[in-house]
């Protein structure tokens, strides 16, 4: 779901397009992950075409996906951003 919104942001040519950081914040993802997705779109245009066929994303679908992500994080199935930062510091990356 987030990929569809990132693709929509990436292909938007409007002068009022938000920054990547602002868009990532609105999607509740890190801006580095947004950048990683964009690099993937650039290197693999078939991914952009495949996602384009799926149609425009809907805000209700994003809300559902964010709710499911929060539930997975609460159950411990996903690491939080803070856990990732602490791990990076331990490994000397941060």
pLDDT tens digits for range 5-50? 888 888 888 888 899 999 888 888 888 988 998 999 899 888 877 7
pLDDT over threshold 60, residue 94? no
Alpha-carbon gap, residue 12 to 5, rounded angstroms: 11
Residue 1: CB atoms within 10 A of its CB come to 17
Helices in the chain by DSSP H: which ranges?
2-11, 20-27, 31-43, 45-53, 59-74, 81-90
pLDDT, position 80: 64
pLDDT, position 44: 85
Report the C-alpha dihedral over residues 32, 67, 61, 77, rounded to 10 degrees. 60
Percentage of the residues of the chain whose pLDDT score is greater than 70 = 84
């Amino acid at each position: 779901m987030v990929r569809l919104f990132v693709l929509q942001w990436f292909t938007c040519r409007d002068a009022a397009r938000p920054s990547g950081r602002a868009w990532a914040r609105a999607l509740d993802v890190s801006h580095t992950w947004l950048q990683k997705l964009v690099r993937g779109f650039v290197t693999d245009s078939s991914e952009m075409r495949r996602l384009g066929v799926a149609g425009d994303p809907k805000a209700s679908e994003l809300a559902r996906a964010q709710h499911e992500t929060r539930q997975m994080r609460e159950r411990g199935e996903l690491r939080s951003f803070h856990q990732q930062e602490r791990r990076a510091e331990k490994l000397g990356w941060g």
